A and B are shown apart, each in its own frame.
Chain A
């Protein structure tokens, strides 16, 4: 059983009369509970691929299935609902809501997307706050915490809905290397604890080694798949 299946996926962008082929016939599959990294230089197609997997965009050609659902044919509302129940997102710039506290940011998807009852929301948020080590910062606003702490909150927000898949586009790009490792390790810990599949893109070679499976992209094509046994970082 696979979580993600891509068959001959291509993506083209049109800018005026110029057509840019961002992805060229990608085929791969990702198992559940994996810790996967897409690496490659800028313009290799990492973000485009994550956008397609995250149902934020649609492939121009090919079939892309996530959790047994063909996401390439979904409508706007359907996509939003699918993302809300199956996918969590971690962004490079953390993208926390500045008007919400740490607690409220984590609670947001449960409240506004899944409309869960208060007791269940509280239980889930409390648990994740504890796991990401942010319990004592719960009432602070994003501008009152550090970058690493923001990314911990973002990880908790991505996981609070119990998604099958978490997508992280350059999650450590705005962090110093020590904090970056801490964030990656937190993601690995959460993956191990919850069985969630994590897919992240990065161009940081040191971070790449933390992934279990590494897909190398170059010029919109899948160049190499590397399976690692253990993270290389000590």
Chain B
């Protein structure tokens, strides 16, 4: 085998310019894919991080049917106190859960005593909420994130539209689940930017204030947002909670709870999927580049060496060995291209990180692009290129091995 490699490498060196050109082409393809994967992966991770860590949490538990009606913020689909107790018992027992935050979500009227508009409010325990969605504080453009009772964080949209500033008094009026209306005065503690760009009418109040406005005697929460210690265990934890909560059924025999991870709750999941699809097509392009370039060069190699093939076949080289010779030649091209591509790709990613390129996402500005090359990506790309190199060499190699020596020797 060592001698077959020796002959293959020497044959590649024999046509230096062509070998260099083919290896360069594969190198460019590998570099392009590596850089794309690492940059898009970084953007995707950043985007998912922003969505989950500043708003949604990694996953949420609702009462069955709540998510389907979430636009109406239905108070009658809140989790009842026994349900909350049961859920908290399960969540507390899970090692994988870092923090969770119960939320009472409701719609109300927001008044600055001059004008009135509608607002969506989240009643939360400020500390627990900040533990569950730690980037929430980074969205506070003015004021503070740590709410106290009687304080409200209002969306920037309302602040700008109605000229309300930090420290101003405002009134929230809301209808409770029985239909009665109640109001409460708050002081603006902070102004929050939307996580996903212009728009957004979500404000935050203390959960006790939410209960007071809604005249709840016992806490009925709309959702429980959950943060995991390890984001990669999201799917497993979703399944675990699904299983643990499946036993609770209502009178109709249907589950009481429903568990959703961020993918089911955010439209940004589709963007993340699109990045995956784009990555897949970029990989396909790489396969095409490698396939065409190596097949082309190997067809040329076979055509130019027909008499040599005839000679080695005539002196008794078995077809299998001739096949191996050409496959190894293609393999060497692939390995060389992969090696140089991986080295160059990692170097370019390092340069990108050194340059500290910034970008904006939603209201978050100046996010630093932190491209990372995962060893798994390197391994997968290398494997793809090497495998495709062998496949591309196969047809010319088979042709060479099946050549009749008498015909090959006559070739001019």
Q: Is this pair of chains taken from one and the same complex?
A: yes
B3-37: CB near A (< 8 Å → 1, else 0) gives 10001001101100000000000000000000000
A99-138: CB near B (< 8 Å → 1, else 0) gives 1100000001101110000000000000000000000000
Least Cβ distance of B304 to chain A in Å?
A: 11
Within 8 Å of chain A (Cβ to Cβ): is B405? Answer: yes
Task: List residues of chain B with CB within 8 A of the CB of A95.
Answer: 307-308, 310-311, 409
For window 295-348 of chain B, which residues contact chain A by CB distance below 8 Å?
307-308, 310-319, 321
Task: List residues of chain B with CB within 8 A of the CB of A51.
Answer: 406
A100 touches B10 (CB 8 A): yes
Interface size on A, residues (CB 8 A): 30
Task: List residues of chain A with CB within 8 A of the CB of B318.
Answer: 77, 80-81, 84, 113
Least Cβ distance of B14 to chain A in Å?
A: 6
Least Cβ distance of B172 to chain A in Å?
A: 85
B316 touches A84 (CB 8 A): yes
Within 8 Å of chain B (Cβ to Cβ): is A218? Answer: no
How far is B319's CA from A51's CA once the two chains are assembled, in angstroms? 19
How far is B15's CA from A132's CA once the two chains are assembled, in angstroms? 31
How far is B308's CA from A100's CA once the two chains are assembled, in angstroms? 12
A54 touches B7 (CB 8 A): no
A133-164: CB near B (< 8 Å → 1, else 0) gives 00000000000000000000000011001000
How far is B315's CA from A157's CA once the two chains are assembled, in angstroms? 9
Interface size on B, residues (CB 8 A): 23
Closest residue of chain A to B325 (Cβ to Cβ) is A112
Within 8 Å of chain B (Cβ to Cβ): is A200? Answer: no
How far is B14's CA from A98's CA once the two chains are assembled, in angstroms? 9
Task: List residues of chain A with CB within 8 A of the CB of B10.
Answer: 99-100
Task: List residues of chain A with CB within 8 A of the CB of B7.
Answer: 97, 99-100
Interface of B is mostly: helix
How far is B10's CA from A171's CA once the two chains are assembled, in angstroms? 28
A54 in complex: contacting residue of B11, B14, B314, B321, CB < 8 Å: B314
Least Cβ distance of B303 to chain A in Å?
A: 16
Q: Assuming the A-B contacts A54-B314, A56-B314, are A112 and B308 also in contact, with contact meaning beta carbons closer than 8 angstroms in the complex?
A: no
A97 touches B312 (CB 8 A): yes
B3 in complex: contacting residue of A57, A111, A157, CB < 8 Å: A111
How far is B311's CA from A88's CA once the two chains are assembled, in angstroms? 11
B409 touches A91 (CB 8 A): yes
Within 8 Å of chain B (Cβ to Cβ): is A191? Answer: no
Least Cβ distance of A74 to chain B in Å?
A: 13
Q: Assuming the A-B contacts A99-B11, A100-B7, are A113 and B316 also in contact, with contact meaning beta carbons closer than 8 angstroms in the complex?
A: yes
A81 touches B406 (CB 8 A): no
For window 25-62 of chain A, which residues contact chain B by CB distance below 8 Å?
51, 54, 56-57
How far is B408's CA from A51's CA once the two chains are assembled, in angstroms? 13
Q: Assuming the A-B contacts A56-B405, A98-B14, are A113 and B3 also in contact, with contact meaning beta carbons closer than 8 angstroms in the complex?
A: no
For window 66-118 of chain B, which residues contact chain A by CB distance below 8 Å?
none
Closest residue of chain A to B313 (Cβ to Cβ) is A80
Within 8 Å of chain B (Cβ to Cβ): is A221? Answer: no
Least Cβ distance of A66 to chain B in Å?
A: 14
Q: Which 3 A-B pairs have the closest CB atoms?
A: A84-B316, A99-B10, A95-B311
Q: List 17 A-B contacts (CB under 8 A).
A: A54-B314, A56-B404, A56-B406, A80-B319, A82-B316, A91-B409, A95-B308, A95-B409, A97-B312, A99-B7, A99-B10, A99-B13, A109-B315, A112-B3, A112-B317, A113-B315, A113-B316
